[in-house]
Chains A and B, each alone.
Chain A
Amino acid sequence: MSEENKWKYGFFLGCVAPNRYPMIESSIRAVFDHLGAEILELEGASCCPAPGVFRAFHIPTWLVIAARNITIAEELGVDIITGCNGCYGTLRDAWIELEHEPELKKMVNKHLAKVGREFKGLIEPKHIVQALYQDMGLDYLRGFVKHKFKDLKVAVHYGCHIIKPSDKRPWGGECEDPTFLDEIVEITGAKSIDYKDKLMCCGAGGAVRTAVKEVSADFSREKLENMRDAGADIIVDCCPFCHLQLDLGQMEANNIYKDMIGEPYKIPVVYLTQLLGLSFGIDPNLLGLIKNHDLKGVTPFIPIESFLEKVKSQLT
């Protein structure tokens, strides 16, 4: 890197990635490091708080805790990146609301003052996909591609909150037919396949998964059916909560809806930076793709070995 610290971000971890899918956290760290971005820790950050649950319980609490998380990055003077659509939704929506509504900002800062903090609005909360696509750009990313997949059909899953509400997102108002994630996936040579209802929600959000798992699992069942029909080798996503829903959700759909689905689902779920990292030639161990433990009942629930086996010969 010729310019020092060309990109410097505060890494907002959230809950699901660090605490349930640490391979996602590892792969984001590895890929951003590889791309020459400096990652700073947001020490003492909390849950974003999750938009579907805590925002739905008490909006002022959601706003104050989100603002506190943003102030941690403000102190470091860096933009936030997060690998989670939910955290992105919370941090970005809160940031925009506080920027546009002085009364809300005053209310929030009255509370934050009690713990010696102030929301100033100096930094921007970004999704890692936004950093990759807008800050770095496809041309820059292409320069790092070492291996191109020759035969890999990917069902891309955007998730909802990376694109919607579109008036609070950086994609020019596009929410019915976005392409940015497919474009990133395809620089690796993989083919982003079309499938029915591609932008449909995974079913985890909005507190639905927490309370009514059967309903969530039915969302996933419908998505998985459409992905399987289209011949997907793997699912690629950019949100740990969608990731959990599409991974653990396969087990749940296989169990709850076994009479409906025929063959059980077993589509490997791969996080965006795991796929990118492989194509960049990063050690799969650093990308959390190699299982190195004997733990029971941990993630990923759907084995990814068939994916690794398929691409092994393509990585030379």
Chain B
Amino acid sequence: MNENVEKYIKRNVYKSTSSRIAQKFVDAGLEKLRACINCGTCTGSCPSGRRTAIRTRSVLRRALTGDESVLEDIDIWLCSTCYNCYERCPRDIPVTDMIIKLRNIAVEEGNILDAHFGLANKIFYETGHGVPANGEANKKWQDLRESYGLPPLPPTVHVHPEAVKECQELMKSVGFRDLLDKIEKIKEKEKAEAEKNKEEEK
């Protein structure tokens, strides 16, 4: 990034909000977004935006102005991380990385889709793989491997239980286990509330 852009980012600007979330955006380095000139190249380059409601420019604008609602918006999960916007941004903003940081903040606030949470909490944490082949339920994949002359399970965490433990230890150490537990509680609470509302409607 050139010097002028750098100055532009660091200038004093009126903040429309001083919320906790806005501070999180700043802490995550999303401040770089201040270099944005709202040209819309990101939106125009986005293959997801051709078929969904995601408008990258708008997502980033909302993050920049501290608009918390962006965290609950499914739009931020419709980015396929193709990096077109990252490559084409005329202000050299690493747009895709910004969306990923935005997702991190959303997750911290408990905004994670059930399918994603299940994948992290049950599959990745338990097995060390994102797409596992172990266990009776995956027998056909083990058989398929064997039919191509491979051992039924690959030489990964799947045949090294000590490596699964090691990954779990690392995930605990870096705070992932705590994060998952926190989200689980939030999700349980939301579920209970939803059921309560349903009862009341009846």
Residues of A within 8 A of B52 (CB): 215
Select the stretch in A55-63, A145-153, A228-236 that faces chain B.
A55-63
- Of B78, B84, B96, B101, the residue contacting A212 (CB under 8 A) is B78
Query: What's the Cα separation between A52 and B156 when bound, in Å?
Result: 21
Query: What's the Cα separation between A182 and B85 when bound, in Å?
Result: 24
Residues of A within 8 A of B170 (CB): 61, 64-65, 68, 111-112, 114-115
Judge if B70 is at the interface, Cβ distance under 8 Å. Answer: no
Judge if A49 is at the interface, Cβ distance under 8 Å. Answer: yes
Q: Is there contact, CB below 8 Å, between A60 and B175?
A: yes
Judge if A276 is at the interface, Cβ distance under 8 Å. Answer: no
Residues of B within 8 A of A201 (CB): 47, 80, 82, 84
Query: What's the Cα separation between A59 and B157 when bound, in Å?
Result: 21
Query: What's the Cα separation between A176 and B88 when bound, in Å?
Result: 10
Select the stretch in A184-192, A247-255, A262-270, A292-300 that faces chain B.
A292-300
Judge if B148 is at the interface, Cβ distance under 8 Å. Answer: yes
- Of A42, A44, A111, the residue contacting B162 (CB under 8 A) is A44
- Of A43, A61, A216, A219, the residue contacting B176 (CB under 8 A) is A61
Judge if B196 is at the interface, Cβ distance under 8 Å. Answer: no
Q: Could you give, for residues 19-44 of chain A, a 1 whenever the CB lies within 8 Å of some chain B CB and a 0 otherwise?
A: 11011011000000000000001111
Query: What's the Cα separation between A19 and B141 when bound, in Å?
Result: 6
Select the stretch in B6-14, B16-24, B33-41, B114-122 that faces chain A.
B114-122
Query: What's the Cα separation between A286 and B147 when bound, in Å?
Result: 11
Judge if A50 is at the interface, Cβ distance under 8 Å. Answer: yes
A44 in contact with B157 given A19-B141, A111-B174 (CB within 8 Å) = yes
- Of A13, A57, A222, A296, the residue contacting B116 (CB under 8 A) is A57
Query: What's the Cα separation between A204 and B155 when bound, in Å?
Result: 26
- Interface of chain A residues 171 through 224 with chain B (CB within 8 A): 175-176, 200-201, 203-208, 210-212, 215-216, 218-219, 222
A206 in contact with B81 given A45-B157, A57-B120 (CB within 8 Å) = yes
Query: What's the Cα separation between A207 and B132 when bound, in Å?
Result: 17
Residues of B within 8 A of A61 (CB): 170-171, 174-176
Q: Is there contact, CB below 8 Å, between A56 and B103?
A: yes
Judge if B133 is at the interface, Cβ distance under 8 Å. Answer: yes
Residues of B within 8 A of A291 (CB): 147
A15 in contact with B51 given A59-B104, A204-B80, A211-B115 (CB within 8 Å) = no
Q: Could you give, for residues 139-154 of chain B, a 1 whenever the CB lies within 8 Å of some chain A CB and a 0 otherwise?
A: 0110111011110001
Residues of B within 8 A of A43 (CB): 155, 160, 163
Judge if B107 is at the interface, Cβ distance under 8 Å. Answer: yes
- Smallest Cβ distance from B43 to chain A, in angstroms? 15
Q: Is there contact, CB below 8 Å, between A50 and B48?
A: no
Residues of A within 8 A of B103 (CB): 56-57
Q: Is there contact, CB below 8 Å, between B167 and A46?
A: yes
- Interface of chain A residues 242 through 293 with chain B (CB within 8 A): 285-286, 288, 291-293
Q: Is there contact, CB below 8 Å, between B77 and A212?
A: yes
- Smallest Cβ distance from A211 to chain B, in angstroms? 5
Other A-B contacts than A45-B156, A58-B104, A176-B87, 9 sampled, CB-CB below 8 A, are A15-B131, A15-B132, A49-B130, A53-B130, A56-B103, A161-B83, A175-B83, A205-B80, A218-B51
State the 6 A-B residue pairs at the shortest beta-carbon distance, nearest first. Answer: A44-B163, A164-B83, A19-B133, A206-B81, A18-B154, A201-B82
